Chains A and B, each alone.
Chain A
Amino acid sequence: MTGRVMLRFAQVIRTEDVSVVGEELMRRAASLLGHQPLAEVRVERRPGGAPRIVSSRVNVSLSHSGAIVVAAASLTGAVGVDVERLRRLRDVGAVADRLRAAWPDEPALSERLLTHASAIEVWTRCEAVLKVLGCGLRRDLQTLRASPGGPPWTVHVLGLPTPLSVHPVVLAPGYVGAVATTRSMTSMHVDRQGLDQQGIPLHPPLAPVGGQHNEGDLPHE
């Protein structure tokens, strides 16, 4: 069985808007993917804080970093999304050592190619997987093992019979991200959400997103 994932993202100015914007993004993605009127879509939090849509088959995940908030929705199993603003890590070598436990064959983590950006990008893959598993960073990265090759990446999880599928997500310059699903993903639909009509201030439009649009594959608003 294969799956489709919808990503909706926005850029916020005020950090206090993140939770409101995030919930709105999840509601809209779930509404479109689940063909449910927006007014009927409600978000609640699981113990631990992970979001879920009340009385819906749509699975959702939420991430924010810096000014970017992104919601992922899937009808075909659990989904996890992570976005990170690129920055300088305090000890990129030590972080890469940790990440190699899960991504032992990743060239971007090799001594020759390692950068702060590449380490953060691989980290988003791990975090997306951990969100699918619903455990965050409470699980040792050694229990994850990515197969050589990719993207998309295939990640085996200790204790899970089937591997997860992980795809890169490009949302805006200066940010990296990944989305993980329990099914092989056939398409990813990425939308920048215009929430300014809701009274939430947004920055001017972001740079165009390349390579991941699959217009026509999923319904539009």
Chain B
Amino acid sequence: MSDMTASRVDLEELRQTVADVIDVELAEMTNDAHFVEDLEVDSLMALEVMVVLEKRYQVKLHESELKDIMSLRKAHELLTRKLSDVST
């Protein structure tokens, strides 16, 4: 089990991680850029984002939760919530 806490979901690190996976410039990865509509993320890329975030943050993500992480801000919120659940 991870010892991470919610405060350790660093937004800038998350930005870098997701940008690396979907291969976009950091400047394009704004907090509210929609992964599909703005950054042209397809389903396979979305699955890649999910598995990379699972490993990095040691949380379990379900495919049905993908709709909740369609922007950096949403992804940060979900990870923060999940890690908070783990730590409580």
What is A's interface to B at a CB cutoff of 8 Å? 65, 84, 89-91, 94-95, 97-98, 120, 123, 127, 130, 136-141
Question: What are the residues of chain A within 8 A of B42 when measuring CB–CB?
Answer: 65
Partner of B47, one of A95, A138, A139: A95
Q: Does B20 contact A (CB under 8 A)?
A: yes
| Chain A nearest CB, measured from B80 CB (Å) | 22
Partner of B43, one of A89, A94, A137: A137
Q: Does B26 contact A (CB under 8 A)?
A: no
A140-B64 in contact (CB<8A): yes
Given contacts A138-B64, A138-B67, A140-B64, contact A91 B55 (CB under 8 A): yes
CA distance A137 to B69 in the complex (A): 12
B20-A137 in contact (CB<8A): no
Q: Does B32 contact A (CB under 8 A)?
A: no
Question: What are the residues of chain B within 8 A of A90 when measuring CB–CB?
Answer: 20-21, 48, 52
| Chain B nearest CB, measured from A221 CB (Å) | 30
What is B's interface to A at a CB cutoff of 8 Å? 20-21, 42-44, 46-48, 50-52, 54-55, 62-64, 66-67
Tell me which of B50, B51, B63 has the highest count of chain A C-beta atoms within 10 A of its own C-beta: B63
A123-B47 in contact (CB<8A): yes
Closest B residue to A135 by CB, please name it. Answer: B64
Nearest 3 A/B pairs, CB to CB? A94-B51, A137-B43, A140-B63
5 cross-chain CB contacts under 8 A: A84-B44, A91-B55, A98-B50, A127-B44, A139-B64
Question: What are the residues of chain B within 8 A of A140 when measuring CB–CB?
Answer: 62-64
Closest A residue to B64 by CB, please name it. Answer: A140
CA distance A166 to B52 in the complex (A): 28
Closest B residue to A93 by CB, please name it. Answer: B51
Question: What are the residues of chain A within 8 A of B67 when measuring CB–CB?
Answer: 138
Question: What are the residues of chain A within 8 A of B64 when measuring CB–CB?
Answer: 138-140
Closest A residue to B51 by CB, please name it. Answer: A94
Partner of B66, one of A65, A89, A95, A137: A137
Contacts A98-B47, A138-B66 supplied; 10 other A-B pairs, CB < 8 Å: A90-B21, A90-B52, A91-B48, A94-B54, A95-B48, A127-B43, A137-B43, A137-B46, A137-B47, A140-B64
Closest A residue to B67 by CB, please name it. Answer: A138
CA distance A58 to B42 in the complex (A): 26
Given contacts A65-B42, A90-B20, A127-B44, contact A137 B63 (CB under 8 A): yes
CA distance A132 to B63 in the complex (A): 17
Question: What are the residues of chain B within 8 A of A98 when measuring CB–CB?
Answer: 47, 50-51, 63
CA distance A98 to B46 in the complex (A): 12
CA distance A98 to B44 in the complex (A): 11
| Chain A nearest CB, measured from B39 CB (Å) | 13
A94-B52 in contact (CB<8A): yes
